[in-house]
């Protein structure tokens, strides 16, 4: 059996350029060229992070009814940091830039140190530092 891995995560956004800038500035993403579909109006950027993880930011003129599949968002996107101090520092940078802090830095029940912030569209982003022995499934 072939080894599989997650290729990318997709996220519908209201303002493609604003979201691209947010992930470039605060999470050091590198954006590829913009893709534009002239028929549907769909546009997207693939962002790549230092680890090789990829995020596709997507926009189109009119999303379907909010109850349709294309309108569903994600629960959260988590970025790993080397230690709790880095989580604290990054949370402060985001707060200063006007990003809402939805969950102040804290130690979770499974030993992670995390904070939760919102991106420009209100999507939840976790900033996490793993414990020395990570709990399964995290």
Do 83 and 52 fall into the same domain?
no
| 80, 136: one domain | yes
User: Last residue of a domain, which of 16, 36, 63?
Assistant: 63
Q: Find the CATH number of the domain harbouring 14.
A: 3.10.180.10
pLDDT at 14: 85
55 with 78, same domain? no
Q: Is residue 118 part of a domain?
A: yes
Q: Which residues contact 83 (CB under 8 A, 6 or more apart)?
A: 113, 129
Which residues does the chain have with pLDDT short of 50? 69, 72, 133-138
Given a contact cutoff of 8 angstroms between Cβ atoms, the answer to whether 84 and 113 are in contact is yes
pTM of the complete model: 0.73
Total domains present in the chain: 2
Query: Quick one: pLDDT at residue 40?
Result: 83
In terms of domains, do 111 and 58 share one? no
For 87-103, the pLDDT digits (tens) are 999 999 999 999 999 99
DSSP string, 18-43: HHHHHHHHHH--EE---EE-TTT--E
């Amino acid at each position: 059996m072939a080894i599989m891995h997650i290729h990318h995560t997709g996220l519908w956004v209201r303002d493609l350029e604003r979201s691209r800038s947010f992930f470039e500035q605060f999470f050091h993403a590198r954006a590829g060229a913009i893709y534009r579909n002239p028929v549907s109006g769909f546009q997207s950027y693939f962002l790549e992070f230092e680890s090789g993880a990829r995020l596709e930011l997507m926009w189109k003129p009119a999303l379907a009814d909010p109850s349709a599949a294309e309108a569903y968002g994600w629960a959260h996107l988590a970025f790993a940091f080397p230690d709790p101090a880095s989580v604290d520092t990054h949370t402060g940078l985001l707060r200063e830039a006007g990003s809402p802090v939805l969950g102040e830095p804290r130690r979770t029940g499974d030993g992670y140190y995390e904070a939760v912030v919102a991106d420009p569209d209100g999507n939840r982003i976790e900033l996490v530092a793993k414990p020395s022995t990570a709990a399964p499934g995290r």
